[in-house]
């Protein structure tokens, strides 16, 4: 279940900050778009943090995508977002490998460090049906 979108004020019309219940912060527009891209990655395919940042074309980089995944990644198929070298997030090799094997994700190595075959598994993303088509970078197959 995805966190609720950000809103102003704790209660409608009060103008104050939202209550701090110790949970994740509200999802802003950028985080929502990142999560939407992750939701669209098909089983057996992956995108790097940088791929997602470039796909969104908002001038933000892989670190900002990584921050979104750190805070909200449990709500999406987090194992499909990896480093450009094909490795999953640190400390997530074993659970990611289970998902890769179940989905048939092409691998270069199933032994630590687990490494996805980026040349075969990288997904360029779908063009935005509500806006201009995004052309994948030249480095994508």
Give the model confidence (pLDDT) of 76-89 as tens digits. Answer: 999 999 999 999 99
Q: What are phi and psi of 32, to 5 degrees?
A: -60, -40
53 secondary structure, DSSP code: H
From the list 42, 15, 18, 83, the residue with the least C-alpha distance to 93 is 83
Residue ranges of domains in the chain, CATH in brackets:
29-121 (1.10.10.10)
23-77 tens-digit pLDDT: 677 889 999 999 999 999 999 999 999 999 999 998 999 999 999 999 999 999 9
Report the run of H or E that residue 29 belongs to, with start and end.
helix 29-40
pTM across the whole model: 0.75
Peptide bond into 141 cis (omega under 30): no
Angle at 131 between CA 49 and CA 80, to 5 degrees: 25
Provide the token pair at 106.
Answer: 């092409």
């Amino acid at each position: 279940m995805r966190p609720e979108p950000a809103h102003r004020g704790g209660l409608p019309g009060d103008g104050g900050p939202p209550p701090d219940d110790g949970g994740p912060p509200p999802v802003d527009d950028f985080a929502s778009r990142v999560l939407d891209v992750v939701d669209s990655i098909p089983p057996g395919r992956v995108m790097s943090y940088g791929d997602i940042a470039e796909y969104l074309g908002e001038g933000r980089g892989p670190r900002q995508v990584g921050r979104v995944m750190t805070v909200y990644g449990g709500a999406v198929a987090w194992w499909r977002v990896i480093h450009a070298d094909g490795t999953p997030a640190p400390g997530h090799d074993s659970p990611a490998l289970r998902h890769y094997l179940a989905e048939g994700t092409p691998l270069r190595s199933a032994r630590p460090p687990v490494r996805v075959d980026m040349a075969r598994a990288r997904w360029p993303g779908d063009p935005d049906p509500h806006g201009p088509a995004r052309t994948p970078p030249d480095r994508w197959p």
